[in-house]
């Protein structure tokens, strides 16, 4: 009773209309009668603290009312049970004792995202960061519409797309269109942080915390306090570091390395990856509980080859910028070249197209750029397979290049680890770590 009374007081003061239900036996009829916009569901109704009673209630609610969002609450059930609840359709999981601000933020976020599109404000009085993202393809415009809606909330967002599709650009737009726009936007490339340095980089350290810690260091999470932290390449994070990341995302607390004092932060989390995290979860290389923590909203960015009609728009945008940067107002690209660009695959996506246009402009002796200018620079830019030449800038990521080189060297040395490691200039243990990280088959 005390818990229900406290929550009702909190929600009423926040402007919500609240109905309290004391037992799951009467819940389904009450839900049918009142058709609530959202349900807060406690997972425990008896002295049994397994949470199974709440899980059964969740199944029954979602079976009859699949569109009503549900937030789970408990002080006893395990994280694994919470993940199970998310799989059954729950939108979020709040641990007791709850943080009022976090609870209200979760409710507001889920209610906002549950509104029909017709009720969303479609008239924007000012130009937003999303309006500076170039595109007209319907699928891409739908992606931007979802991202714009999400930006007004504190929802955790996972941005998925191939290398070069503009994941960081979307993340920045989400931040700068949010209520946190005047606060920090901190980018972290998790693929570039080793497990040994993860805590120092993310949480900071005190002077003397380890041998080389000659001064205090502020971690990325503390730098991002009151703002947004962008966790790029989250699919590259090692399992040991995933555990440490999960705790701070769940509790928004951490300890600086070398200090026993707990620090609390108020952050919004946006993550990005080009990996298939669902597949990684099934293989055990990415934690399921972390996946559900970062994946309240997923933004899928289509590759450039699926939005070919956007290529002329992007080319003209780049050309206008280059006219100013290189003081070449007369720059023009003929229609034949534009049509040819629309037919290319661009494995490096928008990044590759941008680099190609700039490279052609720099090399072309005249301001009129034609088909042959692009063909000469594009040739061999998508080197996937047998070519020994380095690919052009923007056509492949450093990680993809490393994977290809490891596979090629392994094949050359008939899958033998020692000569392969020697050829690559790394130790056997370093090679083994990379083989496991990239799931490359090998002999022991």
CA nearest to 361, candidates 327, 391, 336, 389: 327
- Helix (H) / strand (E) element for 232: namely strand 228-232
228 bridge partner residues: 185, 268
Number of H helices, E strands in the chain: 19, 14
Give the pLDDT confidence score for residue 78 in this predicted structure. 59
Give the pLDDT confidence score for residue 54 in this predicted structure. 80
Residue 434 Cα distances to 237, 303, 386, 403, 440, angstroms: 13, 27, 22, 8, 8
Name the pLDDT band for 444 (thresholds 50, 70, 90).
low
Task: Tell me 110's DSSP state.
Answer: H
Name the pLDDT band for 170 (thresholds 50, 70, 90).
very high
Mean pLDDT, residues 4-27 taken together: 84
Name the pLDDT band for 325 (thresholds 50, 70, 90).
confident
Q: Does domain 2-115 have CATH number 3.30.70.3400?
A: no
Which architecture characterizes domain 305-378 according to CATH? Orthogonal Bundle (1.10)
Give the pLDDT confidence score for residue 383 in this predicted structure. 44
| For the chain, the helix, strand and coil percentages under 3-state DSSP, each to the nearest 5 | 50, 10, 40
Average pLDDT across the chain, whole number: 84
Mean pLDDT, residues 176-196 taken together: 89
Mean pLDDT, residues 270-298 taken together: 92
Q: Where in the chain is the domain with CATH 3.40.50.2300?
A: 2-115
212 against 201, higher pLDDT: 201
Q: Where in the chain is the domain with CATH 3.40.50.300?
A: 136-302
Give the pLDDT confidence score for residue 382 in this predicted structure. 47
**391-423 confidence digits (pLDDT tens):** 655 556 788 888 888 888 887 777 888 888 888
Q: For residue 281, is pLDDT > 70?
A: yes
Prediction pTM value: 0.70
**221-257 confidence digits (pLDDT tens):** 999 999 999 999 999 999 989 999 998 998 889 999 8
Q: In angstroms, rounded to a whole number, what is the distance separating the alpha carbons of residues 43 and 40?
A: 10
Helix (H, G, I), strand (E, B) or coil at 199: helix
Which architecture characterizes domain 398-437 according to CATH? Orthogonal Bundle (1.10)
Which architecture characterizes domain 136-302 according to CATH? 3-Layer(aba) Sandwich (3.40)
Q: For residue 50, is pLDDT > 80?
A: no
Q: Using H for helix, E for strand and C for coil, what is the string for 157-177?
A: EEEECCCCCCHHHHHHHHHHC
Largest CA distance in the chain: 81
Q: Where in the chain is the domain with CATH 1.10.10?
A: 398-437
């Amino acid at each position: 009773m005390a818990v229900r009374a406290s929550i009702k007081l909190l929600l009423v003061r926040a402007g919500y209309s609240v109905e309290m239900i004391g037992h799951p036996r009467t819940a389904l009829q009450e839900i049918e009668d009142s058709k609530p916009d959202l349900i807060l569901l406690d997972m425990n109704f008896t002295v049994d603290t397994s949470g199974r009673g709440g899980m059964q209630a969740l199944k029954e609610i979602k079976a009859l009312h699949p569109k009503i969002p549900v937030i789970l609450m408990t002080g006893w059930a395990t994280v694994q049970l919470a993940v199970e609840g998310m799989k059954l359709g729950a939108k979020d999981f709040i641990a007791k004792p709850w943080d009022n601000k976090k609870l209200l933020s979760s409710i507001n976020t889920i209610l906002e995202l549950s509104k029909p599109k017709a009720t969303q404000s479609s008239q924007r009085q000012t130009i937003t960061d999303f309006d500076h993202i170039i595109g007209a393809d319907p699928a891409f415009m739908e992606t931007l519409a979802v991202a714009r809606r999400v930006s007004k909330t504190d929802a955790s967002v996972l941005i998925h797309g191939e290398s070069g599709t503009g994941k960081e650009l979307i993340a920045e737009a989400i931040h700068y269109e949010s209520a946190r726009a005047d606060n920090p936007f901190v980018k972290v490339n998790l693929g570039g942080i080793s497990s040994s340095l993860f805590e120092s980089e993310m949480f900071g350290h005190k002077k003397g915390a380890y041998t080389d810690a000659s001064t205090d260091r502020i971690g990325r999470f503390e730098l991002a306090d009151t703002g947004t932290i962008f966790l790029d390449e989250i699919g590259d994070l090692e399992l040991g570091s995933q555990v440490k990341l999960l705790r701070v995302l769940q509790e928004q607390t951490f300890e600086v390395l070398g200090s026993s004092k707990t620090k609390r932060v108020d952050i919004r989390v946006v993550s990005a990856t080009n990996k298939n995290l669902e597949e990684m979860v099934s293989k055990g290389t990415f934690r399921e509980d972390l996946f559900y923590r970062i994946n309240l909203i997923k933004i899928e960015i289509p590759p450039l080859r699926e939005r070919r009609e956007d290529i002329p728009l992007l080319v003209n945008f780049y050309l206008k910028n280059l006219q100013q940067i290189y003081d070449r107002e007369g720059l023009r690209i003929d229609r034949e070249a534009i049509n040819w660009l629309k037919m290319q695959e661009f494995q490096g996506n928008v990044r590759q197209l941008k680099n190609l246009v700039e490279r052609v402009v720099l090399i072309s002796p005249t301001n009129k750029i034609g088909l042959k200018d692009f063909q000469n620079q594009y040739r061999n830019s998508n080197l996937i397979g047998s070519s020994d030449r380095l690919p052009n800038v923007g056509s492949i990521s450093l990680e993809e290049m490393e994977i290809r080189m490891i596979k090629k060297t392994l094949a050359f040395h008939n899958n033998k680890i020692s000569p392969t490691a020697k050829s690559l200039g790394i130790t056997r243990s370093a090679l083994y770590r990379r083989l496991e990280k990239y799931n490359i088959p090998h002999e022991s």
